[in-house]
Homo-oligomer: A and B are copies of this chain.
Amino acid sequence: MADQENIPALLRVLNGERLERPPIWIMRQAGRYLPEYRELRTRAKNFLDFCYSPALATEAVMQPLRRFPLDAAILFSDILVVPDALGQKVWFVEGEGPRLEPLIGQQDWRFGETEKAIQRLAPVYEAVERIKAAIPKDTALIGFAGAPWTVATYMLQGRGGDKDDARMEVYRRPEDVDALLEVLIETTAQHLAAQVKAGADCLQIFESWAEGLPPQMFQRVVIAPTRKLVARVRELGVTVPIIGFPRGAGAQIGAYAHETQVTALGVDTQTTADQAREAAPIGMPIQGNLDPLTLVVGGKALEDAAQDVLIAFRHGPHIFNLGHGITPQATPENVAKLVNLVKGGV
């Protein structure tokens, strides 16, 4: 019989346990709000090189763990390593975000092969191995990838911002978009499976651009591909829990939670705990959803908002997290205060 004390709290909750104090991790916990990260970042000449350096990625993961008693580490990488590995040109413009050579406007969309992409991603799996060896035994290691639609929007448009052009492409070339999503489903499934093989204890699928889609399109580009992705990951022999995080899904979270077969539901800041519990299958672990801006503001606003989240989600399995990634303007002091508060300190 497994000794419960040795199982990381995050995994206990992902297995359906409700803990008196929820485990906590923070989306983008390794990142620009930490001065030591900003220093570390200068050691690679661009962001993708940084992601593909197992040594730098491992050090980035360790930085927040040294400061705060967090319950999980998450692989340091980017959702756009998948298109990069598939042969699309990807680069990052400082202070502006990612750029890709957009598929929109190209007559024929050419994608690389999954097998070669996974070979190119070997440094990511090496990073997972190193991180696994470096983190404490009671800290869970989370692997991740972008959901097919979210990654496709970047591949189609070549950048972030509003997703109107990607959405129009679904109207204009539905079969071509489906074909792109199929390539992403297979490559992402193998990418996630390789992370688990390398040591990841659980997975998170980031659907960062679920918002604003008409219901039929939400079914076609978010729910159906995510369900296929989860099924394919399982087919590849992966049994670890999978957290789905459909940011901006609004009233569609119920359909997402029920139809995709994810293990746990990440909810954004806008969703109430009651709505999430009602929308999700009974007993599904729920992760979220503190407003990241409270980590910029601090003080009583942070305390009140964190208490609200603790109280609102207390009736079921809960993983404390933000409703969106932490911002560069957040302070390490506010993060320390939050982690202490969630852990039951004053």
Contacts and interface: CB of A to CB of B under 8 A. Distances in A.
A249 B271 CA distance: 10
A222 B54 CA distance: 47
A172 B302 CA distance: 10
B171 A301 contact: yes
A294 interface: yes
Interface in A259-282: 268-272, 275, 279
A297 interface: yes
Contacts of A19: none
B214 A291 contact: yes
- What's the interface size class on A, roughly? 35 or more
Interface in A279-329: 279, 289, 291, 293-294, 296-297, 301, 305, 308, 323, 327
Interface in A100-158: none
A241 interface: no
A167 B293 CA distance: 8
A104 B327 CA distance: 19
Contact of A272 (B164, B168, B215, B272): B215
Contacts of A84: none
Given A164-B293, A251-B250, A253-B251, A172 B216 contact: no
A212 interface: yes
B294 A171 contact: yes
B168 A269 contact: no
A252 B268 CA distance: 13
A291 B167 contact: yes
Contacts of A168: 293, 296-297
What's the number of copies of this chain in the assembled complex? 2
A211 B211 contact: yes
Interface string A322-340: 0100010000000000000
A294 B272 CA distance: 32
Nearest to A216: B308
Given A171-B301, A293-B167, A293-B168, A213 B250 contact: no
Nearest to A302: B171
A218 interface: yes
A269 B163 CA distance: 14
A252 B274 CA distance: 11
Nearest to A218: B270
Contact of A214 (B218, B248, B269, B297): B269
Given A164-B293, A168-B296, A213-B270, 9 more contacts: A171-B294, A171-B301, A171-B305, A212-B268, A214-B289, A214-B291, A215-B271, A248-B250, A251-B253
26 contacts: A164-B293, A164-B327, A167-B291, A167-B293, A168-B293, A168-B297, A171-B293, A171-B294, A171-B297, A171-B305, A172-B297, A211-B270, A212-B268, A212-B270, A213-B270, A214-B270, A214-B291, A214-B305, A214-B323, A216-B305, A216-B308, A218-B270, A250-B271, A251-B253, A251-B279, A252-B272
